[in-house]
Amino acid sequence: MSLVCRHLHFAYNGNPVLTDVNLEIGRGEFCALLGRNGSGKTTLIYCLAGLLRPQRGTVAIDALDLLRTPRATVARQVSLVPQEHTAIFPFRVIDVVVMGRTAALGFLQRPGPDDYREARRVLAELEAEPLAERNFNRISGGERRIALLARAILQAQDTLLLDEPTNHLDFNNQYRLLEIIKGLCEKKGTRVVASLHDPNLAARFADTVVMLCEGRVLAGGKAGLVMTAPMVSRLYETAARRVETQDGLAFFIPCHPGGQSSVPETGDARQNRWT
């Protein structure tokens, strides 16, 4: 039971974004995608969801080829929490969550009372039941994120893809959300792939880490092995050091915040870009 992606190549209009990406993520595994802005994290997540069609390569969960299977079948296995989402129409949160049942509905079918009951149960599990009746467009960014997570959990619990799930979340809510997701991995065997911007969150929560640099896998493997000061420094192109607290938690801190790597590894044009 592994999500396997082999020799993945993806280009937008001829500009390569992903080059020869190979991944294998087992059940119940929390995999964090790290990389600078524009390194291809979002594109990789959309490829893994089968929503973008790579020019070359395969994405499959065991025998299920995610690129050639009908969407409804894929969506019952793989759910996605997108980075930004507002609806055009001011739906209630519960209506947004129930949309997770779409893949299970037939051509003329509509969600019934059971689907709404399930949706409320998932919201309750996430301690977000009071949101149910509120206008999705008027709740806070963090509440929206929770509602979308509820929708994704209702949709599929085999594989959960999260595109920068901690965006717009406050200091504590980042931890709360990741604790919940970690709980899904441990209790329900959900496979999680999440792109994160904070290497400290990755070091704390992820089982495995994949470092993306300019669309290539710079390093990948057990978090404990990959998350070293030299690798983090290389990934973000700025010197970083690893600090351990007394209770053994590791944190990465940039040596020259906002500055560039003391030893440029590749061409200078890439230094300190914002892309």
Partner 1 sequence: MRTAPPSNISWNPAARAARLNAGLAVGLVAVLGLSLWIGWVPIAPDELGAIVRAWLGNGADDDIRGKALVFGLVRIPRALLTILVGMGLSAAGAVYQGLFRNPLVSPDILGVSAGATFGAALGLLVAGSSWLVVQSLAFAFGLAAVGMALLIARVVAVRPMLVLVLAGLVVLSVFNSSITLLKYLSDPYNELPAIVFWMMGSMSRGQWGDLFIAAPIMGGSLILIHLMRYKLNILSLGDLQARSLGLNPMVYRLVFIFLGSMVVSVSVAVCGQVCWIGLVIPHIARTLVGPNHEQMLPVAVLSGGIFLLLADTAARSLTMAELPISVVTAFIGAPLFAYLLYRNRGSGWS
Q: Are the C-beta atoms of 17 and 55 separated by less than 8 Å?
A: no
Lookup: tokens for 145:
């994120």
- Least separation in angstroms between CB 71 and partner 1: 5
Q: Does 99 bind partner 1 (CB under 8 A)?
A: yes
Contact between 243 and partner 1 by CB under 8 A: the answer reads no
Rounded to a whole number of angstroms, the minimum distance from the CB of residue 94 to partner 1 is 10
Number of neighbouring beta carbons within 10 Å of residue 28: 16
Establish if 150 lies at the interface with partner 1 (CB under 8 A): no
Question: What single DSSP character describes residue 135?
Answer: B
DSSP label at residue 258: T
Q: Which is nearer to partner 1, 111 or 254 (CB)?
A: 111
Binding part of the chain for partner 1, among 54-62, 127-135, 234-242, 261-269 by CB under 8 A, reads 127-135
Among 18, 21, 128, 206, binds partner 1 (CB under 8 A): 128
Q: How far apart are CA 113 and CA 117, in angstroms?
A: 6
Q: How many beta carbons lie within 10 A of that of residue 269, not counting itself?
A: 6
From CA 233, how far away is CA 272, in angstroms rounded? Answer: 13
β-bridge partners, 30: 192
The least distance separating partner 1 from the CB of residue 11, rounded to whole angstroms, comes to 15
Binding site for partner 1 (CB under 8 A): 49, 51, 70-76, 79-80, 82, 85-92, 95, 99-100, 102-105, 107-111, 127-128, 130-131, 133-140, 142-143, 145-146, 155, 169-170, 173, 176-177
